[in-house]
Structure 1
């Protein structure tokens, strides 16, 4: 039996699609009448405190999100494998966001927007893409897809991750001891890291001050499309005000929804989107997890299993 436990999404619609995809395999929702001991798989998004109560026969947790940091904090999380969502459609949407904001900052949108408002004709030429370095933090599925999309545009690319990655056309850095070297020649910093105790708050004043300052007019830019816990918003506000950063694109926040009282709303060189960089598509999500269930029921191993010791 598959149990759907989804908050803030249309659980009924997901249920209909899972029933169509899985055929006779039973699919239930929280409000249905069922024996919790019969549940073998639970499909979750923002699980409530009682989400796992009575699930004595549970084999696997299926996570709607690509990131599982919030799920791993659940106080009653069972000791069973967790499968995260890995999907080409989600990766494409994330890369669309990253490419759009990288090119916006590369072409000095903030500077020309200010000139337009001032009716000021000031011909400052952006550097060539080949003269502009995009540094991507996180070389998982999303980071590697962003590299594939950015590479044909001609940017100089570098990456930083927990463990070393060799990717053609990308200068790779790994580990805390090489973080400063990674930052030193980066003009546009993109964060696609998983949120772990080691990466929490990594977007802070110290990090911003180590980015390269002599390529982009106005200063370096940051893009965070990973988790709000990666950033220190007070530091971002200060860095945008004093010129340490020329611009910031933020899709995630320490508190969501972003409170109306946040000073970020009023900063002209801060570009805010409401956590919409990438979404989990129902059609591809149902196909992905249905196939995992079918194969696992026949004895095949699970794929994309979370390493709890790493947090992703």
Structure 2
């Protein structure tokens, strides 16, 4: 039987994904029709971006799965009309990009690069950093992205800890889990990297109380989700020096409004949601593998747990 695959994403992505998916599905031996328009009751799979405009899945009575092009699925996971399996994007290209960005900014803080780049005052003042093994980096969120970043930092001999809501085990990483262990993780975190999903349970994970637990002068790196941080609490902690600096790539409102105090705060680095991006070449492979699996009766990869929200 031929699988009808609806591509529901921004129009400019269609000419990018269409030839890639055609190649991968053909190579996999899948009989398919791929397009941007089908009668809803004839669709087997929806390749989906949350900004595509598709919200009502009820008419898609033949649907086998919705395959998201985005890693973040918070805008769709509670859609009551979506009752079929939902797979989020776990793309090795996205993972590699995120790992590179995180490692780069951790090293920037660890080595004190900002000081040597921005201060050229003619004063010879040697102040070497500690070795990586004497610096504790805490990864909040140990999903695919968090685990990859943790492994990369551990390979550089950082003292890596991690926290997640459920138990995880990663070689070379001290793993904490559960709400009661978040405090233990943060009290050691000289550098904290946020890679948690955006759910009601993770909103404001960093707030006035949890920020106060961190070592004075600690650094924050957030390439995860904007709502993970209470913005006013972070600004206050930056003003008192409790937090030394924050590098923020994601925000509650994007683009970040020009009037937002993050832009002008001397101890904040704003990057415009560039920590990582879905690469069509690799993400199309992930999508097509799930379609192949669906047609072969095999389990889908990267399915979302609706109760957990990710």
Relative to the length of structure 1, the TM-score reads 0.91
**What is aligned with 2:243?**
245
Structure 2 residue corresponding to 1:61, chosen from 59, 62, 66: 66
Number of positions where the alignment pairs a residue of Structure 1 with one of Structure 2: 302
Q: Distance in 2 between matches of 1:70 and 1:302?
A: 21
Gaps of 5+ in 2: none
Question: Alignment partner for residue 177 of structure 1, among 162, 176, 180?
Answer: 180
Output one character per residue of 1:235-278: Cα deviation in whole Å (capped at 9) or x when no partner. 22222222111111111001001111111111232111111111
| 1:77-116 mapped onto 2 (5 Å cutoff) | 77-116=81-120
Matched, 1:153 2:156: yes
Shift of 1:178: 1.1
Q: Displacement of 1:295 after TM fit?
A: 2.2
2:189 to 183, 186, 189: 186
CA deviation vs aligned residue, 1:117-166 (integer Å, no higher than 9, x gap): x5554333322211110001111111111122111211111111112222
| Partner-residue secondary structure (3-state), 2:119 | helix
Kept in 2, the 8 Å contact 1:115–1:121? The answer is no
TM-score normalised by the chain length of structure 2:
0.91
Give me the whole-angstrom Cα distance separating, in 1, the residues matched to 2:179 and 2:140: 12
Name which of 246, 261, 264 aligns with 1:263: 261
Retained in 1: the 8 A contact 2:58–2:81? Answer: no
Residue 34 (structure 2) aligns with: 27
CA contact (8 A) 1:19 1:26 kept: no
Which aligned runs of 4 or more in structure 1 are off by greater than 6 angstroms?
none
Matches within 5 A, 1:156-167: 156-167=159-170
Task: Please give the root-mean-square deviation of Cα atoms over the aligned residues, in Å.
Answer: 1.9
CA distance in 2, matches of 1:50, 1:137: 31
Change (3 A) 1:71 1:247: same
Aligned partner (choices 136, 141, 145) of residue 138 of structure 1: 141
Tell me the alpha carbon deviations over residues 45-102 of structure 1, each in whole angstroms, 9 at most, x when there is no partner.
124254536212111000111221122244x541110011112221111100110010
Corresponding residue for residue 125 of structure 2:
122
In structure 2, do the counterparts of structure 1 residues 41 and 6 end up closer, same or farther at CA, with 3 Å as the change threshold? same
